[in-house]
Structure 1
């Protein structure tokens, strides 16, 4: 398949401040990953300060909506989609053999989504009008991205199943974001719940699994060669969507004690793929190993969901609290973010495909953060452990974010475009 690149403007060997916009806009992943890396710290900085102020008795501006809901929505619809759109705006044309998108396709996405994300976070400091404007800008940027990606998909005749799966998830995502905006504008609070559940099980999980289903076997085959048989069955994505839609129906109808029906199946589905990809053969190089270690959180998370539901079904007790959710969001989403974004960043900046000390440090610390947040649900002093987990996220991610931001703001080291 021919690979298309975006012509890059000529930039001096030692770029100055005037060159930074050109460098940042040289490729969609560079611009959107810059926004996402910034959001990784900003999202948790606000949340950690909110939790810390509440626990230690300090004053902190009250959010105009329930803070926990705002945390869930702005991480799921603000922070992580910045990376998702950066990746998909880059690979959609390549997956379907079409010319790369140009700046007019992705710069408005960056402006709408990242600009809106920043305004929404300022709005959480008891400034509701800014929260509304920020969410509206995020919706506008999202719709613009859907238009650009949708054009590629239409020209392909929607034949690429991975692209189609991702696009459906993005459609559900904009519906969820719009539902939360409607809630902020005065609609019933049930719409906020719909938004949060759609973000987890209708947007993020389908995109993460779909990309993993395509890319993890590809990366493994690239390393292991002809002796490795990639496992990418055609039934995986339809089964995933059927089970996730079943999970969503049970969640939104408050039948949590029956979630074990879908979640046991999901745990087995994810475990089946992880084993079929033969992780024991893929522990070298580190970038590949990190993908497998991150994916291992997925069957674990849904095993916890299933156990939670079974206990609730037979005893009426919700003993694990939000431990399964955070095994999924911090354990899987967070770890896979570090693994996948590091790989893309290394390759698209002309650097060796190596994990490196800083990404490994962040990855290892993030495992501790996930375990800490899971433990907080059963700890006697839950609030303290939640504060520790929130600040732990900041400590874990800071070196990785700073390194990543430097890469996105400097030219490729091989002087190639992009």
Structure 2
């Protein structure tokens, strides 16, 4: 019998996904506890205000671990270079995960929150350097996706530094910079870049008579608009024009990638339906920006949660499920549990968005969203987490 720890460290995605899944579950459990305490009219006694803690943890606490697990596994194939050494990626992932644990406990301690963000800055800076070194060592001609991810990773380090500055200097503007850079500078560009490269590729391998469409102008426009929006939002400048451009492009791309045809294969449909949330989320953002231009106040946090829960979290479940099945030697088929938990996460996103749009239902929908999210991740983790320390069923390495 093989050593589970040796198997866990045999590929970056195994360690990155397992740590990310555990921290995702921990983050959701603590947020669920927060909402339950509010519902019971017995708010938690904490040091860091809920909004500040929730914003940082949900943006930076677990997504980066999944990103590194994927990019350190797939990225070297894109670039035709060697995978990062075990010592390098293990130290980065473990350091970042410990930082996330400190941040979870940081709700009750400024010292732990500061230590956690500091570890994030250190680990993520090293992670970005490892990726840029891989790009430098590569001789392939097409490095467009790699460069976009490299820029996003670099901005992520800047966002974490802004969060550290916020905590040490109690500058609320710095917290805003951290969140805007995290969402628009890091997460959205990375999710869109990986989608641009992989969704047409996966679709072409499954659907008959499918022609992959992923022009570089689309990649550069999507990523560029994200980074411009990040800058403008940090400067408190309305982003209506860029939101409209992004929304139109994303909705058109979803149609061009044949969302309807993808329904014939569940695992592929999961990717396409998750991507559809990107267009919906940015469309809501455009509507909110437009309302603010005419003095109507906007849509609150509805656009943000359509993007983060709707796009990021459903795409995370879809993508990680597919990679986990493929790299564990299992058939690329979405079983009943994967399909059910995936739709639960769609319900989470819908409930959270509706909670912003229907104030009378807000408290109940917030709590329902939190509890559904916990349920979905617990069910997913129960089945898929053990695969990371189990040998591949086909006997291959990796």
TM-score interval, smaller chain: over 0.9
The within-5 A match list for 1:83-98 is 83-98=66-81
The within-5 A match list for 1:58-207 is 58-62=42-46, 64-124=47-107, 126-156=108-138, 159-207=142-190
Choose the corresponding residue for 2:367, options 375, 379, 387.
Answer: 387
- Counterpart in 1 of 2:318? 339
Residue pair 1:53, 1:60 contacting (<8 A) in 2 also: yes
Matched, 1:414 2:394: yes
Matched, 1:52 2:62: no
Q: Deviations over 1:370-390 (max 9, x none)?
A: 111111112314233212211
Distance in 2 between residues matched to 1:172 and 1:376, nearest whole Å: 31
Q: CA RMSD in A?
A: 1.6
Q: Deviations over 1:387-410 (max 9, x none)?
A: 221112101221102212111121
Q: Deviations over 1:276-332 (max 9, x none)?
A: 112233223211111111111111111111111222222x12242111111111111
- Counterpart in 2 of 1:241? 223
Residue pair 2:48, 2:106 contacting (<8 A) in 1 also: no
Residue pair 1:219, 1:288 contacting (<8 A) in 2 also: yes
Distance in 1 between residues matched to 2:100 and 2:197, nearest whole Å: 29
Q: Would you identify which runs of 4 or more consecutive aligned residues in structure 1 move more than 4 Å?
A: none
Residue pair 2:287, 2:298 contacting (<8 A) in 1 also: no
The within-5 A match list for 1:18-29 is 19-29=3-13
Residue 71 (structure 1) shift? 1.2
- Counterpart in 2 of 1:232? 214
Mark the runs of 5 or more structure 1 residues left unpaired by the alignment.
Answer: 1-11
Residue 59 (structure 1) shift? 4.9
Choose the corresponding residue for 1:250, options 204, 211, 232.
Answer: 232
Residue pair 2:48, 2:109 contacting (<8 A) in 1 also: no
Matched, 1:283 2:263: yes
Distance in 2 between residues matched to 1:318 and 1:391, nearest whole Å: 29
Distance in 2 between residues matched to 1:241 and 1:281, nearest whole Å: 26
Mark the runs of 5 or more structure 2 residues left unpaired by the alignment.
Answer: none
Distance in 1 between residues matched to 2:105 and 2:286, nearest whole Å: 38
Choose the corresponding residue for 1:292, options 272, 277, 289.
Answer: 272
Choose the corresponding residue for 1:35, options 9, 19, 24.
Answer: 19
Secondary structure of the residue aligned to 1:353 is coil
| Greater Cα shift, 80-89 or 98-107 | 98-107
- Counterpart in 2 of 1:405? 385
Distance in 2 between residues matched to 1:319 and 1:265, nearest whole Å: 18
- Counterpart in 2 of 1:4? none
Distance in 1 between residues matched to 2:170 and 2:110, nearest whole Å: 15
Task: From the two aligned structures, give the one with the greater helix fraction.
Answer: 2
Q: Deviations over 1:162-182 (max 9, x none)?
A: 011011001000110111012
Distance in 1 between residues matched to 2:206 and 2:116, nearest whole Å: 43
Aligned residues: 396
Q: Deviations over 1:33-85 (max 9, x none)?
A: 001111121111111111221231225231x3322122121121121111001
Choose the corresponding residue for 1:265, options 245, 251, 262.
Answer: 245
- Counterpart in 2 of 1:8? none
Residue pair 2:34, 2:43 contacting (<8 A) in 1 also: no
Distance in 2 between residues matched to 1:333 and 1:242, nearest whole Å: 19
Residue pair 2:24, 2:61 contacting (<8 A) in 1 also: no
Distance in 1 between residues matched to 2:308 and 2:8, nearest whole Å: 28
